[in-house]
């Protein structure tokens, strides 16, 4: 089948109907913590235990993070919108706006999150204008009492069960 032309505005409009979690993916660049806000995080495989996220190829943050060979996915709670904004805007060092320690891989682990998934980089796959990063889980934890932050159509929100 021929590949039909997909309009960029239509792509954005349709994916504005698809909710994502909001995570801060962290890694060390030498002795400097680096991070990016990520909506493309998801589980992939239980055996072996793999997860994925997709940084854009033009991401300056990912260029700095990729050398570490490991990363920690900090899945934000729904009370952490300000934290998401501080890591997105980066006008001051966002790591000073939160309390964090170091996961087993050496990647920063941010306090107060809904979940943490600590990974070594398993594979980097070329995926159009993004990289598909597969991580092999070396440690994970979650706070069952904390609801995750949700992003939909350009807005933050909370999950509510039916
Ligand atoms: C809710 C939310 C989700 C995002 N998800 C992604 C993502 O999955 N992949 C990505 O490359 N950028 C994503 N971004 C944008 C990055 O956080 C960042 O702005 C982008 O990588 C450019 O900054 P940089 O050059 O410093 O990396 C997201 C931003 C927000 C606010």
Domain ranges of the chain: 22-154
- Cα-based torsion angle of the residue sequence 123, 33, 155, 117 in order, rounded to the nearest 10 degrees: 50
Question: 35 alpha carbon to ligand 1 midpoint, in Å?
Answer: 10
Kindly report the three-state secondary structure assignment for every residue of the chain.
CCCCCCCHHHHHHHHCCCCEECEEEEEEECCEEEEEEECCCEEEEECCEEEEECCECCCHHHHHHHHHCEEEEEECECCCHHHHHHHHHCCCCHHHHCCEEECCCCCEEECCCCEEEEEEEEEEEEECCEEEEEEEEEEEEECCCCCEEEEECCEEEECCCC
Task: Express as a percent the part of the chain with pLDDT over 90.
Answer: 96
Tokens, residue 46 = 């239980």
pLDDT classification of 109: cutoffs 50, 70, 90: very high
What architecture does CATH give domain 22-154?
A: Roll (2.30)
Using a 6 Å CB cutoff, which residues line ligand 1? 22, 36-40, 54-56, 59-62, 88, 151
Q: How many residues does the chain have?
A: 162
Question: Average pLDDT of the chain?
Answer: 97
**What pLDDT score does 155 carry?**
97
Please state the rounded mean pLDDT for residues 73-85. Answer: 98
**What pLDDT score does 73 carry?**
99
From CA 159, how far away is CA 17, in angstroms rounded?
15
Task: Express as a percent the part of the chain with pLDDT over 70.
Answer: 100
pLDDT classification of 72: cutoffs 50, 70, 90: very high
Q: Is the dihedral of CA 117, 158, 77, 27 positive or negative?
A: positive
Atom 9 (ligand 1): residue with closest C-alpha?
Answer: 55
Asked if pLDDT for residue 1 goes beyond 90, the answer is no
Asked if pLDDT for residue 70 goes beyond 90, the answer is yes
Nearest to 149 by CA among 92, 76, 88: 76
Atom 16 (ligand 1): residue with closest C-alpha?
Answer: 37
User: Which residues have CB under 8 Å from 99's CB, separation 6+?
Assistant: 110, 111, 112
pLDDT digits 0-9 by tens, 128-155: 999 999 999 999 999 999 999 999 999 9
- The reply to whether the predicted model has a pTM over 0.95 is yes
Asked if pLDDT for residue 97 goes beyond 90, the answer is no
From CA 92, how far away is CA 108, in angstroms rounded?
17
Tokens, residue 86 = 């501080």
């Amino acid at each position: 089948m021929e590949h039909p032309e997909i309009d960029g505005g239509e792509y954005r409009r349709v994916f504005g109907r698809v909710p994502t979690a909001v995570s801060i993916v962290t890694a060390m660049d030498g002795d400097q913590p680096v991070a990016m806000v990520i909506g493309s995080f998801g589980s992939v495989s239980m055996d072996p235990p793999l997860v994925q996220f997709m940084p854009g190829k033009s991401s300056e943050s990912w260029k700095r993070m990729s050398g570490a060979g490991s990363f920690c996915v900090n899945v934000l709670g729904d009370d952490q919108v300000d934290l998401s904004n501080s890591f997105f805007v980066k006008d001051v060092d966002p790591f000073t706006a939160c309390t964090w320690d170091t996961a087993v891989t050496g990647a920063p682990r941010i306090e107060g999150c809904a979940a943490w998934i600590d990974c070594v980089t398993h594979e980097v796959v070329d995926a159009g204008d993004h990289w598909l990063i597969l991580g092999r889980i070396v440690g994970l934890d979650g706070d069952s009492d904390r609801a995750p932050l949700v992003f939909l159509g350009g807005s933050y929100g909370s999950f509510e069960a039916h």
